[in-house]
A = this chain, B = another copy of it.
Amino acid sequence: MNGAQALIRTLTRSGVDVCFSNPGTSEMHFVAALDAVPEMRGVLCLFEGVATGAADGYGRMAGRPAGALLHLGPGLGNGLANLHNARRARTPLLLVVGDHATYHKRFDAPLESDIEALAGTVSRWVRRSARSADVAADAAEAVAAAMRPPGGISTLILPADVSWSEGAEPAPPLPVRAPASAPPETVESVAGTLRSGEPCVLLLGGPAARRPGLEAASRVAQATGARLLCETFPARLERGAGIPGIDRLAYLAEFAAEQLAGARHLILAGAAAPVSFFAYPGKASSLIPAGAEVHVLAEPADDVSGALGRLAELAAPGTKPLAHEAERPELPSGDGHLTGDAVAAAVGALLPEGAIVSDEANTSGLWLPGATAGAPPHDWLTLTGGSIGQGLPVATGAAVACPGRPVLALEADGSAMYTLSALWTHAREGLDITTVIFNNRSYAILNMELNRVGAEPAGDAARNLLELSRPNLDFVALASGMGVPASRASTPGEFGAQLQQALAEPGPHLIEALIERIG
């Protein structure tokens, strides 16, 4: 068989059976091979950033890689922003980047560029397959490398002739190492610190943001009085009624500093030491409180939940976790102006059990965490790397990974425009995704940041670059143009009714929420 067929058969045997694709000529044998290997599902995306963001969302929910098929260096370039987010999320993800035939490279044809340099900025593993006889073994290694804890991006560069040449055979999957255990003396030392009576903050991140880690950490907090916090942008946070609730470290450094104030010990469980998202004149970059000692219970690549469980056995024997109560806000009604907090309340009132929330609401989403904390259990996926344009693609991949679960994409207007064609894939694949666009007609976060960085108040020229008006974006028209049924809400009553209906019907929907102000 040819290299492409052997590659795809190897991938499906290794557990990679979805490939978000935006192919070109050099990938045509890969595309043709999909008919020979029906176990692989090809999902067409109209832009590479949608394909890579979808693979990120898939990997976060499935815990194993999806493929993303891209076309040479420029295709990889278009995919980089969401790969940046996936790298920060530590998502297992397999990139297949088609390239010119091996012997064609030296002619510097128009699409020639330095793929390795681009791939190196986001990947933990990069290889160019040299021969069709090698490509299957390369692919098996790529998948294993992507799965190695804590998870990451593998990039397999696939020359066209390696794809089309015969003489290839599928390769067996390679074993994946389990996460390492934190050493007993580390767990014991942290337990001792927690029992010291000095103020402690336990900062969770990575795999600790799932239910087992949260429950163990909650036990520790109950028994020792340690404060619990979660990293600002977790890849996947399990939350809702019956699960211990946890505040995320604030995006704004001044609020984060308040959350951490007074801590004498900062214990990291799968999280990095806290740092300001951006630098601001005269403010510190590190958020470690002055005089605090940092302890690392477990690195993201470790069995973080296991370490927390062992810590709970030592520091909180017999203590139960504190599960969040079931509680929902009332569904807002009335025909006043629509605000961010009314949208949040409606989401909290209606969020279905088992929902997956792809959250890129940015400034408009300020009230969402509070309004949804007691909703039925759900997963919350955040903007791990800060590169906007993630929300709609990640929702795509999450819906493909979890076909039985409703997906809610909560999306800011400015961010939506980076990768809007994800809506077409929602429609093409019939995905059960309800998208809410928070349309405040501005890059509101930048209006805030302009002030925070100490710049001059915005004049006309600056405002011109921060406002999304003149003309206003009409997201109902944009969604309709890509086959997604859409409606517009200007009042709490309209929004509540439209969200209720969209969640009740299968398939994709979009609601444009015209937000007067945040709350």
With A29-B455, A386-B110, A450-B32 given, is the CB distance from A473 to B482 under 8 Å?
yes
B414 lies within 8 A of A46 (CB): yes
Return chain B residues, CB-CB under 8 Å to A475. 481
Count of chain A residues near B, Cβ 8 A: 102
With A35-B460, A47-B418 given, is the CB distance from A88 to B110 under 8 Å?
yes
Tell me the bound Cα distance from A417 to B454 in angstroms: 38
A111 within 8 A of B: yes
For A480, the closest partner residue in chain B by CB is B477
B111 lies within 8 A of A465 (CB): no
Return chain B residues, CB-CB under 8 Å to A414. 46
A420 within 8 A of B: yes
With A25-B449, A103-B279, A118-B121 given, is the CB distance from A111 to B471 under 8 Å?
no
Tell me the bound Cα distance from A77 to B86 in angstroms: 14
Distance in angstroms from A338 CB to nearest chain B CB is 20
Name which of A189-197, A269-277, A311-319, A322-330 contacts chain B: A269-277
For A454, the closest partner residue in chain B by CB is B164
Among B233, B389, B449, B473, which residue has its beta carbon within 8 angstroms of that of A110?
Answer: B233
A396 within 8 A of B: no
Name which of A215-223, A238-246, A349-357, A421-429 contacts chain B: A421-429
With A277-B109, A387-B74, A455-B164 given, is the CB distance from A461 to B100 under 8 Å?
no
Q: What is the 8 Å Cβ interface bit string for chain A, positions 1-39, against chain B (1 contact, 0 not)?
A: 000000000000000000001011110110110111010
Distance in angstroms from A161 CB to nearest chain B CB is 7
**Could you say which of A122, A278, A281 has the most chain B C-beta atoms within 10 Å of its C-beta?**
A278
Tell me the bound Cα distance from A114 to B414 in angstroms: 25
A279 lies within 8 A of B477 (CB): no
Among B386, B461, B474, B476, which residue has its beta carbon within 8 angstroms of that of A38?
Answer: B461
Among B77, B272, B472, which residue has its beta carbon within 8 angstroms of that of A77?
Answer: B77
A120 within 8 A of B: yes
With A74-B80, A104-B285, A472-B483 given, is the CB distance from A455 to B28 under 8 Å?
yes
